[in-house]
């Protein structure tokens, strides 16, 4: 059996990836877990691991080529297998959208469609003329639109759906450039031309941020809870553990927040879930994303399996993750497997940060600076180290009272930090 290696989907919004470099060549023996190639996505360059062992039989996609998610990029022969002649690559055939039947009438079986010829090189994008025209007029990238017509053809309705899903940037922010500006065309419509000023083409990462934040705000009804956390004890605790810690294990305030959230999420699993058409999906793993500012945007990769990690391990992994995020060497899971997000602008002196949920997660915790504040304790005014946190949560998944219990749980852990050393 030949093993097909396909362009992986690293993140819900990834539609295509570029093959940067092959690390294996035809004839090479591949073990499970070996790095096959480097893939560039919208966000960064990631390493593609082999999921099965075998011998590289054919590299279907050349270095530098960009291909859609799901397309075969390499073929491995199972160990010991005589290499068969490789089939040419085929585009994945998207599922045909169910037709709406109005008036409760019985659905009629759809007429059989002519199948795509087996083995036929079929790389041309299928798009109807009217869909192509509307997309061109709106400056939409037709390669990013999923087709629901016969044989996956992009139809007028698909372009119109994509247009509706676009952020209403131009309308809501009249002074700013649209967050996903149309690709410049010599005959571009007057959409952008009416606004005086410089137009900068959005980078891929900016487009991704625009798409995901719009998706979140348009589909996830947010509610917000804020709270002051007294970090005086936590700072003392941090000093104590850092005395004996190696450089790698030195704990930051954010590491404390990550650990506290990991513990709280274990006790409040609905904040580690996501809402979908079939109901709530509770995730087995607690993978906490941390927002990392990059020169040209923002990325939120996950520290995997936080529930199984000690504070020291979380601290070490966070440092490694931040370094790799900045150099563009994240792994696929770190992009796509996050279940909760912490965004922290404490280092910038921000008092309070109310975040936008990282879809499809259930909540995000915004963290501000730890600042000395006058607070009342036992009837007296004392100075304590206070950190403001804000929970933004998806109201489809949880309600305010649950949110209150969850954020109080985080507060309790951070105000009694010894429990984090377990």
Partner 1 sequence: MAEMRFRDALREALREELIRDPRVFLMGEDIGLYGGSYAVTKGLLDEFGPERVLDTPIAESGIVGAGIGAAMGGLRPMVELMTINFSFLALDQIVNSAAKLYYMSNGQINVPMVIRMASGGGSQLAATHSHSLEGLYAHFPGIKVVCPSNPADAKGLLKRAFRDDNTVVFIEHTALYSMKGEVPDDPEFTIEFGKANILREGKDVTIIGYSGSVWQASRAATMLESQEGISAEVIDLRTLRPLDIDTVIASVKKTNRAVIVEDDWKFGGFAGELSAQIMERAFDWLDAPVARVCGKDVPMPYNRNLEFAALPSEEDVVDAVLAML
Find the part of the chain contacting partner 1 (CB under 8 A) among 51-59, 97-105, 169-177, 381-389.
97-105
CA 278-337-411 angle, 5° bins:
90
Residue 101 CA to residue 222 CA, distance in Å, equals 33
Quick note: the x/- pattern for partner 1 over 107-136, rule CB under 8 A, is: -x-xx-x--------------xxxxxx---
CB of 97 to partner 1, least distance (A): 9
Closer by beta carbon to partner 1, 148 or else 343: 148
Non-local CB neighbours of 402 within 8 Å, separated by 6+ positions: 268, 270, 271
Place of tokens 């954020």: 407
By beta-carbon proximity to partner 1, the closer residue of 128 and 344 is 128
To partner 1, the closest distance from the beta carbon of 116 in angstroms equals 15
Asked if residue 101 binds partner 1 (CB under 8 A), the reply is: yes
Q: How many residues bind partner 1 (CB under 8 A)?
A: 22
Pick from 39, 74, 140, 155 the residue near partner 1 by CB under 8 A. 155
Cα–Cα distance list, 405 to 40, 219, 225, 268 (Å)? 41, 24, 11, 9
Q: Cβ closer to partner 1: 149 or 360?
A: 149
The CB-of-158 to partner 1 minimum distance in angstroms stands at 10
Query: To the nearest whole angstrom, how small is the minimum distance from the Cβ of residue 106 to partner 1?
Result: 7
CB 191, min distance to partner 1, A: 19
In eight-state DSSP terms, residue 284 is S
Using the rule CB under 8 A, give the single segment among 153-161, 203-211, 231-239, 314-322 that binds partner 1.
Answer: 153-161
What are the residue ranges of helices labelled H in 220-308? 232-244, 253-267
Question: Does 163 sit near partner 1 (CB under 8 A)?
Answer: no
Residue 414 and residue 342: Cα distance in Å, rounded? 15
Instruction: Order across the sheet with 380-394: list the strands.
Output: 222-230, 380-394, 363-377, 340-344, 288-290, 302-303
What DSSP string describes 129-143? HHHHHHHHHHT--GG
Hey, which residues between 45 and 84 contact partner 1 (CB under 8 A)? none
Cβ closer to partner 1: 132 or 250?
A: 132
User: Which span sits near partner 1 by CB under 8 A: 99-107, 195-203, 275-283, 403-411?
Assistant: 99-107
Active site annotation includes 395: yes
- Residue 93 in the binding site for partner 1 (CB under 8 A): no
Which of 106, 172, 175, 187 binds partner 1 (CB under 8 A)? It is 106
Q: Which is nearer to partner 1, 80 or 186 (CB)?
A: 186
Q: At what angle do helices 253-267 and 232-244 cross, to 10 degrees?
A: 110
| Exposure string over 177-195, b if 16+ CB within 10 A, otherwise e | bbbbbbeeeeebeeebeee
CB of 341 to partner 1, least distance (A): 40
Q: Of 222, 283, 305, 395, which is the active-site residue? A: 395
Nearer to partner 1, 154 or 387 (CB): 154
* 195: DSSP letter: S
Handedness of CA 183, 185, 190, 192 (dihedral sign): positive
How far apart CA 349 and CA 256 sit, in angstroms, is 18
Does 140 bind partner 1 (CB under 8 A)? Our answer is no
CB of 130 to partner 1, least distance (A): 5
Instruction: Confirm or reject binding of residue 105 to partner 1 (CB under 8 A).
Output: yes
| Rounded Cα–Cα distance for residues 100 and 122 (Å) | 29
Toward partner 1, which CB reaches closer, 117 or 374?
117
As a whole number of Å, the end-to-end CA separation of the chain is 48
Non-local CB neighbours of 279 within 8 Å, separated by 6+ positions? none
Q: Which is nearer to partner 1, 102 or 295 (CB)?
A: 102
User: Active-site positions?
Assistant: 395
Residues that bind partner 1 (CB under 8 A): 99-103, 105-106, 108, 110-111, 113, 128-133, 149-150, 153, 155-156
């Amino acid at each position: 059996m030949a093993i097909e290696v396909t362009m992986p989907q690293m993140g819900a919004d990834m539609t295509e990836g570029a093959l940067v470099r092959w690390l294996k060549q035809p004839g090479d023996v591949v073990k499970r877990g070996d790095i096959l190639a480097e893939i560039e996505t919208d966000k960064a360059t990631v390493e593609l691991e082999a999921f099965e062992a075998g011998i590289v039989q054919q590299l279907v996609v050349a270095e530098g080529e960009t291909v859609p998610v799901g397309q075969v990029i390499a073929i491995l022969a199972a160990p010991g297998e005589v290499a068969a002649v490789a089939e040419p690559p085929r585009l994945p055939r998207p599922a045909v959208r169910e037709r709406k039947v109005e008036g409760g009438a019985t659905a009629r079986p759809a007429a059989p469609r002519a199948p795509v010829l087996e083995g036929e090189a079929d790389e041309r994008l299928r798009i109807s003329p009217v869909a192509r025209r509307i997309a061109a007029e709106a400056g939409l990238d037709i390669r990013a639109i999923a087709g629901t017509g016969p044989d996956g053809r992009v139809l007028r309705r698909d372009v119109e759906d994509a247009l509706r899903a676009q952020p209403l940037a131009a309308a809501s922010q009249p002074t700013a450039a649209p967050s996903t500006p149309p690709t410049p065309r010599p005959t571009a419509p007057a959409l952008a031309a009416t606004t005086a000023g410089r137009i900068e083409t959005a980078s891929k990462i900016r487009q991704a941020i625009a798409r995901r934040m719009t998706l979140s705000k348009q589909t996830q009804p947010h509610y917000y809870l804020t709270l002051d956390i007294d970090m005086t004890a936590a700072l003392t605790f941090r000093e104590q553990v850092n005395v004996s810690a190696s450089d790698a294990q030195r704990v930051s305030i954010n590491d404390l927040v990550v650990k506290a959230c990991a513990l709280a999420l274990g006790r409040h699993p609905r904040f580690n879930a996501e809402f979908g058409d079939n109901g709530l999906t509770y995730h087995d793993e607690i993978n906490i994303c941390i927002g990392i500012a990059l020169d040209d945007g923002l990325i939120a990769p996950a520290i995997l399996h936080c529930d199984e990690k000690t504070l020291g391990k979380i601290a070490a992994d966070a440092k490694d993750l931040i370094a790799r995020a900045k150099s563009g060497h994240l792994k696929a899971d770190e992009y796509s497997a996050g279940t909760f997000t912490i965004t922290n602008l404490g280092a910038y002196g921000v008092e309070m940060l109310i975040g936008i949920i990282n879809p499809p997660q259930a909540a995000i915790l915004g963290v501000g600076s730890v600042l000395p504040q006058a607070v009342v304790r036992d009837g007296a005014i004392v100075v304590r180290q206070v950190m403001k946190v804000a929970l933004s949560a998806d109201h489809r998944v949880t309600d305010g009272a649950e949110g209150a219990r969850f954020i109080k749980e985080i507060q309790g852990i951070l105000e009694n930090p010894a429990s984090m050393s377990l």
